[in-house]
Amino acid sequence: MSSATLELAQQLIRLRSITPEDAGCQDLIAQHLKPLGFALESMRSGEVTNLWARRGQARPLVCFAGHTDVVPTGPLDQWHSDPFAPSVREGKLYGRGAADMKSSIAAFICAAEEFVAAHPQHPGSIALLLTSDEEGVAVDGTVKVVEKLKARGELLDYCIVGEPTAAAKLGDTIKNGRRGSLSGKLVIKGVQGHVAYPHLVKNPVHLAAPALAELVATEWDRGNTFFPATSWQISNIHGGAGADNVTPNSLEVQFNFRYSTASTIESLRRRVLGILNKHGLDYALDWLHGAAPFLAAEGELVVAARGAVRAVTGIEPELSTSGGTSDGRFIIDICPQVLELGPVNASIHKLNEHIELDDLEALKSIYRQVLERLLLPT
């Protein structure tokens, strides 16, 4: 199988853009977009490369958003082929970024090329928003582009983020929102001492246990139509002096909320503090808010995406808000209708990451149909 989408995906995979490096991906993309009449604007921030590309000035503005950076490869000797030497075998394209998300970007571009060739005077506008800071700390990437666009009043009408959303088959899942992320670093203070003299120590592990058990058992909310119930999970716990006859001086617990729109940062913080205080703990607690939950309006974009998926694959997609965070949490600030639609996610961040060749072409066709359904008068 040979196609423009496959060729571009392979070219992008060859570039070692381990986050936050772009490694020339956006220059390659610009070479495809400039002949189509896109105005190109590089928005570098720190070590991060960002690209805003727009064709046209009229409304509505349809944007494709994604990232050119990839996660590290892991042990190279456990890959069946070089992760940065794209390999086609058994009907699949292998390489780092094949699913997350260089194939989506290739499909974006080839869909735009086909659409513009067929409709050079199309109504509305098309844009691409790309960053090399999605897989990393995400402080100099999409959020910076959104801030700049918002400051000059350049708002989006519709945005598709090309994250890998499919669970089993391409098109089976569309993400129309994501849960929020709120983390905490809790240090419970005690008094270190010899285990043989328990009356002289304050063991923070023992002191913390009832409070932690209550936090685990608490029902934070019941979710709602689009979101599952909020989840509180301990991710790391550490205490001890390294000897079996010494009680620790302190216990450190790191935890995370993945929370729905049925809760707020303030309500979660308040309830955690209430439980800790009820148990009379001596503690310090630092919070880190990673992302607010978002839910996009269910409007023309969802209708267009669902229709495109049905037309290309025959599948009726499910709307979902499951999974981790994405850059959609930033884009929602300037765009009322944001969704995520991309490849099967089974191999992302894993060894031997891949995408089905048929899915690569189908994804390009889905993106083109979305453009047609949103921009062409019926």
Q: In what order do the strands lie in the sheet with 231-239?
A: 231-239, 250-259, 180-189, 283-291
- Residue 69 is among the residues annotated as catalytic for this protein: yes
Q: Are 127 and 55 in contact (CB under 8 A)?
A: yes
Q: Are 116 and 36 in contact (CB under 8 A)?
A: yes
Q: Which residue stretches of the chain are H helix?
A: 4-14, 25-33, 102-118, 142-151, 204-217, 265-278, 300-313, 328-331, 357-375
| Annotated active-site residue in 69, 157, 327, 356 | 69
Q: Is 13 exposed, middle or buried (0-12, 13-18, 19+ CB in 10 A)?
A: buried
Q: Got the DSSP string for 227-272?
A: SPPPEEEEEEEEE--SSTTEE-SEEEEEEEEEE-TTS-HHHHHHHH
- Residue 134 is among the residues annotated as catalytic for this protein: yes
The half-sphere exposure of 118 on its side-chain side, counting CA atoms within 13 A, is 12
| Annotated active-site residue in 22, 114, 134, 359 | 134
Place of tokens 């880190």: 288
d(CA 199, CA 80): 59
Tokens of 39: 């105005």
Q: Are 182 and 125 in contact (CB under 8 A)?
A: no
> Known catalytic residues?
69, 134
